[in-house]
Amino acid sequence: VSENLKTACISIVGSDNVIDHQDDLFAASADIWASGVAAELVICPASTQEVVELVKLASSHQKAVIPRGAGLSYSAGFVPDRPQCIILDLRRMDRIEHVDRDDLYVTVQTGCNWKTLHTVLKQTGLRTPQYGVASGAYSTIGGALSSSATFLGSARYGSLSENVLGVEVVLADGSVVATGSGTSTASTGFRRCDGPDMTGIFLDDSGAMGIKTSATLRLIPAPQAKEYLSFGYENLESLIKAQIAIGRHGVASEIMGLDQRRNQDLAAVGLDFLNGVGASLHIGVEGLDLEIVNRYLELIRSTALEHGGFELANTVPEMMIQGEDDDPFVDISPYLVGANGERYVPTNAIVPPSKALQALSITSEFLTEQRARMSKLGIFSSIITMSLKTDFLIDTYLYWHDQLTPVHREYMNKDSWNLWGNHPANIKAREAVEGMRHDLRDRYDALGASHAASGRFYPYSERLGPDEKKLLHQIKNTLDHEGIINPGSLGLSGTNRET
């Protein structure tokens, strides 16, 4: 990198916030799955104005600019495809700017993590409808908005993107755009659609359209009562039928299914009641008071049992949703690797309920075909299902022993790292997993699946029809004429000239 560029970056953010050590650059340029080329610099801005200056500076040096949050994703959304780039690590932008208790919204900088936001809002008795992901002790609001992240509250409220009222975005030319009703100088950000929905262009975009610097999110009164239910099923097929029927009631906040492999792993760490259970369904239910919640619980229980379920202790949802001391955003160390320190990578597909069983069949057929190869290479799988309002998400995890990544190192506590951090590289299995993951993704796509976190792994522009593709390129070209913002993500190249 030129000394000129580095000095100019330092003059904007200070020397402590410009990273140029080769190991650190490599670490910050990789997610949990993919590593590519290392960025020339990683810069940590603290304000929108600093982002503006950095984008203008990068552009004048013909460098691409790649936004990232905590780096806890798996689809190469911020993994550079060229060395001539700088990464903006937005985690210093973690201020909660305004909580509006009258009009029920919060404006927060996008580098803020879920735990911080949730903790501050708790003191006000308010909450965002969808309120976090399992990595939320670290992962950011900006990462969630860019990758359709879902979990806490998602069975009832969908993804964060469905609950955002507006965003502030720095575009490739350094202009700062606010979307939603906050755009008008006389107004505030209380409404999403004040004319055409310009917010949507910047959501689930894998950071391809601009650098989101703040977001205004809808608030609701925090539910005063929350309870949990779990049910066992003979297999995933019967679980999915029950999951869809329960999802249709629209009263559960979280609905998550686990396959036998996951049940076995949980049984091994003390949840004996999951031993031998073919598939288990875990549900969170919340409401204004216990009376309302109890009515919801009865409705869910009768549907779950009608579909062949048997009730289990509710320890899993209590652990995952309620968390420790009412804090769901716990240490992620135990969840970063498999039960015996294996690396893993998930591949997701989101389908309508009518295709949920087909998505399962595709997965089962695929895993059956691969069984011999997987067993030879020590690869195994597990499946998680989730409800996103009426939509159905299936996540197929592949596990194998391998060297862990810099992201594991950053987030694993010392004990876990000492235990699992020294696996030798296992390129053969890793390459097999890579091939399998592509194959499975393509099979999901043939079913017409949508995906969370497209990044550089799931096809997005490639899946569009010719006219839609042309429109996408026109939008990108308008927002980022030189193609300097996160080139390669969403399948958009750096030059943007092609349609």
Binding segment (CB under 6 A) for ligand FAD, from list 207-215, 232-240, 254-262, 433-441? 207-215
Given the complex with ligand FAD, which of 128 and 150 has the nearer CB atom?
Answer: 150
> Pattern of binders to ligand FAD over 258-297, x per CB under 6 A?
----------------------------------------
Least distance (Å) from ligand FAD to the CB of residue 284? 13
Least distance (Å) from ligand FAD to the CB of residue 48? 11
Given the complex with ligand FAD, which of 38 and 297 has the nearer CB atom?
Answer: 38
Given the complex with ligand FAD, which of 212 and 262 has the nearer CB atom?
Answer: 212
Least distance (Å) from ligand FAD to the CB of residue 2? 24
Per rule CB under 6 A, is residue 77 in the interface with ligand FAD?
Answer: yes
Contact pick of 272, 335, 462, 478 for ligand FAD (by CB under 6 A): 335
Binding segment (CB under 6 A) for ligand FAD, from list 71-79, 246-254, 285-293, 459-467? 71-79
Per rule CB under 6 A, is residue 149 in the interface with ligand FAD?
Answer: yes
Q: For residues 388 and 350, is the Cβ–Cβ distance under 8 A?
A: yes
Given the complex with ligand FAD, which of 58 and 211 has the nearer CB atom?
Answer: 211
Least distance (Å) from ligand FAD to the CB of residue 147? 5
Given the complex with ligand FAD, which of 263 and 454 has the nearer CB atom?
Answer: 454
Contact pick of 29, 130, 139, 230 for ligand FAD (by CB under 6 A): 139
Helix axis angle, 236-249 relative to 356-377, nearest 10°? 140
Contact pick of 48, 116, 128, 150 for ligand FAD (by CB under 6 A): 150
Given the complex with ligand FAD, which of 88 and 229 has the nearer CB atom?
Answer: 88
Contact pick of 38, 277, 336, 394 for ligand FAD (by CB under 6 A): 336
The footprint of ligand FAD on residues 442-481 (CB under 6 A) is 452-453, 455
Least distance (Å) from ligand FAD to the CB of residue 67? 4
The footprint of ligand FAD on residues 88-127 (CB under 6 A) is 90, 110
Given the complex with ligand FAD, which of 135 and 199 has the nearer CB atom?
Answer: 135
Given the complex with ligand FAD, which of 304 and 407 has the nearer CB atom?
Answer: 407
Given the complex with ligand FAD, which of 309 and 455 has the nearer CB atom?
Answer: 455
Per rule CB under 6 A, is residue 382 in the interface with ligand FAD?
Answer: no
Per rule CB under 6 A, is residue 206 in the interface with ligand FAD?
Answer: yes
Give the residue carrying structure tokens 């539910």.
223
Per rule CB under 6 A, is residue 69 in the interface with ligand FAD?
Answer: yes
Who contacts 489 (Cβ-Cβ below 8 Å, separation ≥6)? 76, 77, 78, 205, 206, 207, 208, 454, 455, 456
Least distance (Å) from ligand FAD to the CB of residue 112? 10
Per rule CB under 6 A, is residue 207 in the interface with ligand FAD?
Answer: yes
Who contacts 238 (Cβ-Cβ below 8 Å, separation ≥6)? 279, 307, 308, 309
Per rule CB under 6 A, is residue 496 in the interface with ligand FAD?
Answer: no
Contact pick of 116, 128, 130, 147 for ligand FAD (by CB under 6 A): 147
Most distant CA atoms of the chain, gap in Å: 69
Per rule CB under 6 A, is residue 214 in the interface with ligand FAD?
Answer: no
Who contacts 214 (Cβ-Cβ below 8 Å, separation ≥6)? 48, 93, 97, 107, 108, 109, 110, 167, 168
Per rule CB under 6 A, is residue 381 in the interface with ligand FAD?
Answer: no
Residues that bind ligand FAD (CB under 6 A): 31-32, 67-73, 77-78, 90, 110, 133-135, 139-140, 142-144, 146-147, 149-151, 206-207, 211-212, 332, 335-336, 452-453, 455, 486, 489
